[in-house]
Structure 1
Amino acid sequence: MARLQEGDPEGIAEAFAERVDWVIADNPAVPWVRPRRTRADVAGHFREVAEGQEADPAGTSIDAVTVDGTEALLSGWLAGTVRATGKTFRSPFTIRLTVENGLIVRYRVVEDALTIAAACTPDARPPRDTADG
């Protein structure tokens, strides 16, 4: 998580294995969300996220972390402004990580994809208000 806060895509990718089981539901409205399989793909994802949105640190939080052996679950809120539209979003999220030999080999994200897609689409309205989490 410290690497995420530093905002260095290559540094973040160093925490991942060369091959990654990566799942974030594909959404054509969100330019940085698509299948990824390699460490280089991971760096590309975090680079595209940084280019595509301005993060809102005040609206982003990790509220719970659970670790069981090689598995970890993180949940909280992410928030930002999509640069292309100027629209803001706030979404709950859960990330499931699997770590082997000190590297992340599985990365699964569940988030409010409709809210994020609406923020990426100029004429779309948010499907509901998730700001009160």
Structure 2
Amino acid sequence: MKHLITLFMLLVVAIPCFAESEEDKSKPPISPQEIVDVQLSAYNDGDIKAFVSTYADDVKTYGQANDLKISGIKDLENAYAGYFEAHPELHAEVTGKIIQGNFIIYQELVSGVVGGEDFVATAIYEVRDDKIQNVWFFQ
């Protein structure tokens, strides 16, 4: 009987450890488009911490013809922190979009580049495991 009570007590203590918390249940999964939109909002706010938080640690960004521009989260943070500082009025507005599974393709009108003119860019974002893994930019 003593062992039965001990077993019962262990189960009472252990079961909640395996149960989903109410917080987990109430938080719906975030879609690839929502992740990219959070990134874009942080970009427009010049919020480097929020911006970087949407990217995978081993993120890679590419220019045209698969020209590797950025490799890794630290490289991304360093590049964009300086860019945000140099261009405080920076803003990207989505003018067209294609959503295909975990690929988000946005055509963006970019403005606020100091000393530069507005330009149109196309960005292809690949999202994996709730983080932006790769980005290809075309201009």
TM bucket (normalised to shorter chain) is: 0.5 to 0.7
Are 1:105 and 2:128 counterparts?
no
Tell me, which stretches of 5 or more residues in structure 2 are unaligned? Answer: 1-39
TM-score normalised by length of structure 1? 0.64
**Structure with the bigger percentage of strand:** 1
Match for residue 12 of structure 1? Answer: 51
**Quick one: which of 61, 64, 74 aligns to 2:106?**
74
SS at match of 2:70: coil
Distance 1:16 1:56 in 2: 20
Contact map agreement 2:107 2:123 (CA 8 A) in 1: yes
Measured against aligned partners, the alpha-carbon deviations of 1:87-106 in whole angstroms (never above 9, x if no partner) come to 23111110000000000001
Partner AA of 2:87 in structure 1: Q
Contact map agreement 1:9 1:44 (CA 8 A) in 2: no
TM-score normalised by length of structure 2? 0.62
**Structure with the bigger percentage of helix:** 2
SS at match of 1:93: strand
Partner AA of 2:74 in structure 1: A
SS at match of 2:138: strand
SS at match of 1:95: strand
**How far did 1:56 drift?**
5.1
Query: Percent of pairs identical after alignment?
Result: 12
Match for residue 48 of structure 1? Answer: 82
Partner AA of 1:55 in structure 2: E
Count residues in correspondence.
97
Distance 1:56 1:103 in 2: 23
Tell me, which stretches of 5 or more residues in structure 1 are unaligned? Answer: 26-33, 112-133
Contact map agreement 1:14 1:39 (CA 8 A) in 2: no
Measured against aligned partners, the alpha-carbon deviations of 1:50-105 in whole angstroms (never above 9, x if no partner) come to 12224254xx42111211111110002111242xxxx2311111000000000000
Distance 1:8 1:68 in 2: 27
